[in-house]
Structure 1
Amino acid sequence: MTALTTPNGCRWCGIEQRGHFQQWKPPAGWHTWEQPTQDQIKARMLARRAARNT
């Protein structure tokens, strides 16, 4: 099974808030944890459900 981003992971990189600190990822560059959008949360939840059902 592949590792999927948790629904509430960082908006830019998907890392959980607790262990995020500061990360680098394009297009955000160096960033701290940011709340994901509602669309990102929904898409991540649907992807996890799809992976679970296959």
Structure 2
Amino acid sequence: MAASPNGCRYCGIEERSHARQWTREGGWHAWVQPTEEQIKARMFARRSERTAR
């Protein structure tokens, strides 16, 4: 399943349920706003998943 378009830049988890998370790229981090490119890519990925079903 694709990450939410507005999920964290590093892990894709929504802001309201994020807390602190660990990723190799972001280390220990709080929610970080995704880039415009990430938002667009995530939206296309979610659309592709829906149309593939």
- TM-score higher than 0.5 here? yes
List, as ranges, runs of 4+ consecutive aligned residues in structure 1 with deviation greater than 3 Å.
Answer: none
**What's the counterpart of residue 11 of structure 1?**
9
Cα RMSD between the aligned structures?
0.6
Tell me the number of residue pairs that the alignment of Structure 1 and Structure 2 aligns: 52
Greater fraction of residues in helix: 2
Q: Return the TM-score normalized by structure 2.
A: 0.94
1:13-28 alignment runs, 5 A limit: 13-28=11-26
Q: What TM-score, normalized by structure 1, do the two folds share?
A: 0.92
Partner secondary structure for residue 48 of structure 2: helix
**Unaligned 5+ runs, structure 1:** none
Gap regions ≥5 residues in structure 2: none
